[in-house]
Amino acid sequence: MTATALAGCLVLATSCGAAPTAERAGSPVPQQPPVVANPVTTTPTKGPEPTKPTGNAINVHKVRWTKAKPVSKGRKIQLTWWSGVAPCTVLDRVKVRETAKRVTITLYEGTAPKARNVSCIMIAIEKTTTVKLKSPIGKRKIVDGAK
């Protein structure tokens, strides 16, 4: 009984899903042109999106930045990080703490108050902001305050 059931399953499994060839069916199978989907094109960006703190975000939290680059002869630091789309994700504020050996910079993001009943798309955007230092960076180490 088991051998009969196994043989029946084997026959069924090998015959399922196999389309008859043109020779077996007795008539030629018409050739369909290949389906070509419309390619999705995106406009390349010129770099990170410049962002300024809003100071009024809700649900504020720390965000890690990915790059810190001294500019203006070390008097400013340009920060780059990955974020969401405004108004769902906005830069609330940037905290800078300077000591003789290090500069700790912390980014704080949240949601703009006007985004209460807004649907937000889940897409990552590279953003940038520049902060001014009290004194030039010199040999001090730049530290991410969100780590």
Whole-structure pTM over 0.85, yes or no? no
Pairing of the two strands 102-111 and 141-144 = parallel
Q: Does the pLDDT at position 4 exceed 70?
A: no
Quick one: pLDDT at residue 117?
83
Quick one: pLDDT at residue 145?
98
The number of C-alpha atoms within 13 Å of 57 and in the hemisphere containing its C-beta is: 22
pLDDT, averaged across the chain: 83
Respond yes or no on whether the N-terminal peptide bond of residue 87 is cis (omega within 30° of 0). yes
Give the model confidence (pLDDT) of 41-65 as tens digits.
555 558 899 999 999 999 999 999 9
1 — pLDDT class (breaks 50, 70, 90): low
Give the model confidence (pLDDT) of 64-76 as tens digits.
999 999 999 999 9
Angstrom CA distances, 103 to 56, 77, 122, 127, stand at: 25, 10, 32, 20
C-alpha dihedral (143, 144, 146, 147), degrees to nearest 10 = -70
Tokens 């969100």 belong to which residue?
146
Which SS3 state, helix, strand or coil, does residue 15 take? helix
Tokens 């780590």 belong to which residue?
147
